[in-house]
């Protein structure tokens, strides 16, 4: 189930929330209410933690290092395909990782993680686990299962987006 944010013209028509042409909509007003509620209830702490989690999981070195770990000997084209980024972006990531000693490039064998790269990858994974633990700690087992089911559904719907 994909959700789209309606334009500001829909703000006064909250009855438009729902399904239109197979797409689920949420009005701008309701979205603002939700984010305002989350911010107000937590003083922004929840949104900051979610932002930190997303930054770790989606940007930076974590996805790159995971791609190399899972595909030892991979080339830049393979990394670009896995991460869905341009070749120049991948080339920049490889150069940075080489400079920082996180990967080695063997012309005959491709790109591989070094001990330092594996250490950096594990440190980032631990940071993701720490943030997730903080976010999930107030939830009971059933609430966590429900949250995971929601995340799986969101991932399923958006996998081709």
Q: Could you tell me the domains of the chain? A: 1-43 (no CATH), 44-161 (1.10.10.10)
CA separation for the pair 154, 2 (Å, rounded): 8
**pTM of the predicted protein model:** 0.63
Complete edge-to-edge strand list for the sheet that includes strand 18-20 = 3-5, 23-26, 18-20
CA separation for the pair 68, 117 (Å, rounded): 10
Helix (H) or strand (E) holding 147: helix 141-158
pLDDT string in tens for the chain (161-residue length): 333 443 333 333 333 344 444 444 555 666 666 666 666 666 677 777 777 777 766 666 888 999 999 999 999 999 999 888 899 999 999 999 999 999 999 988 999 999 999 999 999 888 888 887 877 788 888 887 887 787 777 777 766 55
On whether the CB atoms of residues 88 and 132 are closer than 8 A, the answer is no
């Amino acid at each position: 189930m994909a959700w789209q944010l309606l334009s500001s013209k829909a703000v006064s028509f909250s009855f438009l929330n729902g399904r239109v042409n197979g797409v689920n909509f949420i009005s701008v007003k309701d979205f603002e209410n939700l984010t305002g509620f989350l911010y107000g209830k937590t003083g922004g702490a929840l949104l900051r933690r979610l932002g930190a989690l997303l930054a770790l999981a989606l940007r930076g070195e974590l996805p790159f290092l995971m791609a190399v770990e899972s595909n030892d000997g991979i080339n830049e084209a393979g990394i670009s395909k896995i991460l869905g980024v341009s070749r120049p972006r991948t080339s920049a990531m490889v150069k940075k990782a080489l400079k920082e000693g996180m990967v080695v490039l063997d012309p005959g064998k491709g790109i591989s993680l070094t001990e330092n790269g594996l250490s950096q990858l594990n440190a980032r994974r631990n940071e993701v686990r720490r943030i997730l633990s903080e976010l999930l700690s107030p939830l009971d087992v059933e609430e966590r299962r429900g949250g995971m089911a929601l995340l799986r559904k969101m991932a399923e719907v958006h996998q081709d987006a």
